[in-house]
Amino acid sequence: MFGLFNTIFAFAWIFSAKHVAAFCFGVDDDALTHTTIVANVSYSLAVMLPGLAVAVRRLHDVGKSGWMFLVALIPIVGGIWLLVLMLTDGEWGENRYGSDPKLSPETFSESARLKSAGVVLIVAFTVMIFHNIYMMTILTGNQGFSTYYYFFAVLVPNLMLLAAGIFLLKEKTINEMHIQGKIAFILLLTAFSISFILSVINWKNRILNFDWSTVVYDVASIINTLCCLSLVLFAGFILFSRQNKKLIRNLAVLVIIFAGINMFLHIYITLKLLHYIYWVREVQGIYIRFVCFHLLPITYIVLVGTFLPGKRSN
């Protein structure tokens, strides 16, 4: 059922994106080709981790190792074999991977959800760090000051967020975090605070050099600033005021809203840039940047979703 609805939503997303792009940017072949690629990449990134999680749990349900998913790499035969396993009914009763989900009331454990959040942070910010290093190599030479600024303003917070993901892997409970979880959230709070402060400082130049032609970028910057502020408050309340569950829930919802809006704005900005750029190297650079910055909203949504109050295992 996950595969069925995933396919339906994927086609609906790509179909809608192409029509929106045709309305906003025209109907030339290049624009529609770029739109299809961007729509495919954005949707694939959004469902990559949930899809992998469902596949592994489905394999565990039939008594197979999650590594069995790699059988899909075998041309033709591997995909068919994996499809058969996905459609096979699970083993009756308990197996070596746990209780039968059809018979047991046990929910997805807190430890497993924390590990999922940790893995998402590690994957997303490992990609971002490689992107940061690539950008720093471009800036080296003619913009030395910018390189140092890029290091402290971007690379250091991303390293903190990567470390936070590693500490979350070692945490076992959500409601009563141990030292690993507290260190993880201290790192999260510090990194998001740096990003928020630098984002506010950046607004000085935007206000002084306001231009209607870049208003979409300004809106994206505002949303990103609000998202960073929501993440700062969310991390702070998780650390120092966990009993205020209603406020934590509201802050998590705000993060999800701002991250979702930011995701769609990045899609729009990417399509707009691709519509006016024809050099292959620049197009590749835009796609790389799109993939990197599309991972961030997804990561933030997964992170706050993990700590939403009321999600407890029985």
CA–CA distance, 93 with 165 (Å, rounded to integer): 34
pTM: 0.69
Return the top range by mean pLDDT from 11-25, 188-202, 268-282.
188-202
pLDDT at 145 over 50: no
Containing structural domain, residue 60: 1-106
What is the count of structural domains for the chain?
2
Supply the pLDDT for residue 281: 53
Supply the pLDDT for residue 297: 86
> Across-strand partners of 96?
none
Boundary of a domain, candidates 106, 139, 168: 106
Identify whether residues 94 and 156 lie together within a single domain.
Answer: no
Quick: pLDDT tens for 94-140. 787 777 766 665 555 677 778 878 888 888 888 888 877 777 676 55
Question: What confidence tier does 314 reach under pLDDT thresholds 50, 70, 90?
Answer: very low
Supply the pLDDT for residue 185: 92
Supply the pLDDT for residue 147: 58
Question: Is residue 314 assigned to a domain?
Answer: no
Identify whether residues 144 and 175 lie together within a single domain.
Answer: yes
Identify whether residues 72 and 185 lie together within a single domain.
Answer: no
Identify whether residues 159 and 266 lie together within a single domain.
Answer: yes
Question: Is residue 286 assigned to a domain?
Answer: yes
Whole-number percent of the chain with pLDDT over 70? 74
Identify whether residues 74 and 163 lie together within a single domain.
Answer: no
Return the top range by mean pLDDT from 86-90, 191-195, 262-266.
191-195
